[in-house]
A and B are shown apart, each in its own frame.
Chain A
Amino acid sequence: ERVVAHLMLKGSSKLEDVMKKFAQERIAPLVSKMDENSAMDEAVIKDLFDQGLMGIEIDPQYGGTGASFFSSILVIEELAKVDPSVAVLCDIQNTLINTLFVKLGTEAQKECYLPRLSTEMVGSFCLSEAESGSDAFSLKTRAEKHKDYYIINGSKMWISNAEYAGVFLVMANVDPSAGYRGITCFIVDRDTEGLHIGRKENKLGLRASSTCPLNFDNVKVPESNILGKAGQGYKYAIGMLNEGRIGIAAQMVGLAQGCFDQTIPYVQQRVQFGKRIFDFQGMQHQISHVATQLEAARLLTYNAARLKEAGKPFIKEACMAKYFAAEVATLTTSKCIEWMGGVGFTKDYPIEKFYRDCKIGTIYEGTTNIQLTTISKFIDQEYNG
């Protein structure tokens, strides 16, 4: 069932206006420095919390904002226009961490974590390992059961937000003989003995977003820290990543748009051969093509978000949105550098950063190949009558 996304934006425009102003004034001045130093400015994280952007869908009774999933998508998009690294911090918190707690938490767990996640504590989602990326369920981190606690041993890799996280949601296997049906989601507090956060990766893009390896050395975790049910972790991971996918799509759309928005004014000003380079038909056609792809990516994203909100099946659409948006981000940023010419190639202009940032979109939270395979599974089913 198709949902017409754009027309449903009435009432959200205030949110966009406020987000634009906030992002421009509070985040934009810090972007370049954060990229160069590969470090998120703590003031930015505090601002995100103060603005109520880290607990968007959390109920106000727990200190959250109580807004919709679609609001999260809009926030992520607006943040990504200014800095995709900040956007991903906000995306992971809202679409992965908060959602897992809200959907699976016991009342005690919710009361313990949701207020902090809304107001001051960043969370991290730990699934990938050195030997298991796309093949997530072959993860090796082990959780051994003792009376009323578990001992976790193993390591995780590519964990976003790790530098600042106060809580980690760790997927570990309690029963390797059961294969993926042993995967369990554990809540692990940062200061738990045996948990070591490794040195952050030196990345091509999204540099201000910390990506670290984690080591679990006999980490003791009480049974009450299991989120949901033991052995169901694989289901929770898939479920959350299906939704998180839409958030990443929004991030890619915002990234592409932010890059585009900073490029067109230059193209309108730059004069060669006596006219604006915008006035050359070759340029116009390229620009229009990119703008159309961007609009299509946005609509795919909004549509997937609306389907999810309406409780309708949305997984195929979410995969399409994430796959397409990442491709569009790559196309847009690459073209923008070309349109800017020499200055596009320098770090004095923000364009090259968008180009470096976009690449991760085809890789994380499900590679493009995985998205395409998933989409084909749905098509196969649909045509089986």
Chain B
Amino acid sequence: MSARVLVGVKRVIDYAVKIRVKPDNTGVVTDGVKHSMNPFCEIAVEEAVKLKEKKLIKEVVAVSCGPQQAQETIRTALAMGADRGIHVEVSGKDYDNLGPLQVSKILAALAKKEETSLIILGKQAIDDDCNQTGQMTAALLDWPQGTFASEVVLEGDKVKVIREIDGGLETVRLKMPAVITADLRLNTPRYATLPNIMKAKKKKIDVVKPGELGVDLTSHLEVLRVDEPPQRQAGMKVETVEELISRLKEAGRM
């Protein structure tokens, strides 16, 4: 049982914050805005820590890509029970252009370097809603994937994943090493207790640059414009069914 689990944790704008688009429409306002760990990443960390508590895996390594502040997110993972962290330093323009393709290249490189048996990620980030990183990482590594996991069961050198899909639940069995992405109902993340916050201060965070991993961060996407969603128009009340039909015809809906 020398299994090592890599967990990706992304620093995103806190879910409770009211998002504002920048006046120049190039993005959203992030300066001075509260950031936290992506909620699905919290669920991923919790699952990894639970596996370790059941003594099914040996080490949980939390990874985050971004500027200096990414270390705060790693510290939260450490306070939840991760053993150590890896901060992949990406800042400036590279950070602005960092997307699922770049992150999955980084994770793939790290997974090989760190002899990983399992990569657990959140299914998507609440800022870009891409839902791609897990899938791309698995493809780059040529590993099997169990996405939208609502249950994970380790069975020797295999892992059974129950996936939430449109039609209901699908059960797959993957041969490790594998990639799993966490969905909402996988678990309820624990609060970091004060003793664990204290312990986390002593845990190690290694800093590495993408170049050292041989990763090219070039983006093939360009964000042209960011706009607020259209303002919701007020509805209209009608008195009779006849009126409803005539209004719908007028609006070209019938």
Which residues of A are in contact with B by a Cβ distance under 8 Å?
11, 13-15, 17-18, 21-22, 25-26, 50-53, 56, 60, 65-67, 71, 75
With A14-B72, A14-B76, A17-B36 already in contact, the answer to whether A51 and B198 are too (CB < 8 A) is: no
**Chain B residues positioned under 8 Å from A21 (CB to CB):** 191
The answer to whether A18 and B79 have CB atoms under 8 Å apart is yes
In the bound assembly, the distance between CA atoms of A67 and B76 in angstroms comes to: 17
Q: Which residues of A contact B198 (CB under 8 A)?
A: 65-67
CA gap between A179 and B60 in the complex, in Å: 61
Is B79 a contact of A14 with CB atoms below 8 Å? Answer: yes
Of B76, B194, B201, which one neighbours A65 at CB under 8 angstroms?
B194
Whether A51 and B193, one on each chain, are in contact in the complex, defined by CB atoms closer than 8 angstroms, is yes
- Residue B195, interface by CB 8 Å: yes
Cα A53 to Cα B195 in complex, Å, equals 9
Residues of A within 8 A of B75 (CB): 14
Nearest 7 pairs between A and B by C-beta? A52-B194, A52-B195, A52-B193, A65-B195, A65-B194, A51-B193, A18-B192
Main secondary structure of the interface of B (DSSP, over half): helix
Residues of chain B in range 182-206 having any CB-CB distance to chain A below 8 Å: 191-198, 200-201
Instruction: Name which residue of chain B comes closest to A11, CB basis.
Output: B201
Contacts of B36 in A (CB 8 A): 17
> Is the pair A53, B201 in contact by a Cβ cutoff of 8 Å?
no
User: B118 CB to closest chain A CB, in angstroms?
Assistant: 26
Q: A11-B201, A14-B72, A18-B79 are in contact. Are A71 and B193 (CB under 8 A)?
A: no
Among B36, B193, B194, B201, max chain A CB count under 10 A is at B194
Name 9 extra pairs, CB < 8 A, besides A11-B201, A13-B72, A67-B198. A17-B36, A18-B194, A25-B191, A50-B193, A51-B194, A56-B194, A60-B195, A66-B198, A67-B194
Proximity string of chain B (122-162) to chain A, C-beta cutoff 8 Å, 1 when within and 0 when not: 00000000000000000000000000000000000000000
Please encode chain B, from 26 to 40, with 1 for each CB lying within 8 Å of some chain A CB and 0 for all others.
Answer: 000000000010000
Chain B CB within 10 Å, residue with most, of A15, A25, A51 = A51
Q: Which residue of A lies closest to B75 (CB)?
A: A14
Contact between B197 and A18, CB atoms less than 8 A apart: yes
Question: What's the minimum C-beta distance from B78 to chain A, rounded to whole angstroms?
Answer: 10
Q: Which residues of chain A have C-beta atoms less than 8 A from B195's C-beta?
A: 52, 60, 65-66
Across the two chains, which residue of chain A brings its CB closest to B78? Answer: A14
Q: Is the CB of A75 within 8 A of B194?
A: yes
Instruction: List 7 contacting pairs A-B, 8 Å CB cutoff, sorted by A.
Output: A11-B201, A14-B75, A17-B36, A21-B191, A52-B193, A65-B198, A71-B194
| A68: nearest chain-B partner, CB-CB | B198
Q: How far is the CB of B64 from chain A (nearest CB, A)?
A: 15
Q: Which residues from chain A contact B191 at a C-beta distance below 8 Å?
A: 18, 21-22, 25-26, 51
How distant is the Cα of A17 from the Cα of B72 in the complex, in angstroms? 11
- In the complex, the chain B residue whose C-beta lies closest to that of A49 is B193
A26 vs B193: C-alpha distance when bound (angstroms): 13
